[in-house]
Amino acid sequence: MARTPSRSNDWGFPRWRGYGSGRETTQVRLCDRHGCTAPGDCPAPKSPNSPDRWYFCTEHAAEYNRGWNYFEGLSAEEAAEREAADRQTQDGYSNAKYYAWGGPGDGTRSRDEMRALDALGLESDAGLEDARAAWRRLAKENHPDVAPNDPTAATRFQQIQTAWEVLRAAEEARAG
């Protein structure tokens, strides 16, 4: 005589337990390190060009990664080729940082700093020394004493001074 189960898996309505709380056994992969009984949920390649993976716990994955040599078994030419290919894909991402959420530039400068660089006529990747040189050159050209009857020169001089102050303050904040 077949025995009918007394408990259901709650597939009907009303469902008394949450989804994913079934009574079935779950498969847990153990760490591939000999003697370790922790769950192995961190895949690690067995060799550089192999799709086979080890599955380690976080502790043994960290130990494995410390000793991992990405270029093991490759000749010097193959290693240089692989490094160039990796850098090529990295460069694509670093060039795309210009379109990041933080606004223009590489994300390290604020919008005020970017406006200050525009006022000085510099690119977004210009350093503080470039900004100082541009500030001095433009300040000499637009100083009210040099062009006493030109009201646009006085306004431009104030913009240049403000831009320099913004960049200098930001650099001091980063350094300090």
Residue range 37-58: mean pLDDT, rounded:
83
Summarised one tens digit per residue, pLDDT across range 73-93 is: 888 998 888 888 777 655 555
Give me the CATH topology for the region 111-175. Helix Hairpins (1.10.287)
Position 18 scores a pLDDT of: 64
Position 114 scores a pLDDT of: 87
Among the residue ranges 38-47, 106-115, 131-140, 162-171, the one predicted with the least confidence is: 106-115
Contacts of 38 (CB under 8 A, 6+ apart): 30, 31, 57, 59, 60
Confidence of residue 162 (pLDDT cuts 50, 70, 90): very high
Q: What does the domain layout of the chain look like in residue ranges?
A: 111-175
Summarised one tens digit per residue, pLDDT across range 1-34 is: 566 666 655 555 665 666 666 666 677 889 988 8
Position 102 scores a pLDDT of: 41
CB 122 within 8 Å of CB 136: no
CB 153 within 8 Å of CB 147: yes
Summarised one tens digit per residue, pLDDT across range 101-140 is: 444 445 677 888 888 999 999 988 888 899 999 999 999 9
Residue range 47-57: mean pLDDT, rounded:
80
Position 23 scores a pLDDT of: 61
Q: Quick count: other Cβ atoms within 10 Å of Cβ 84? A: 9
Answer whether the bond into residue 51 is a cis peptide, omega within 30°: no
| 124-156 as b/e: b if 16+ CB within 10 A | eebeeeebeebbeebeeebeeeeeeeeeebeeb
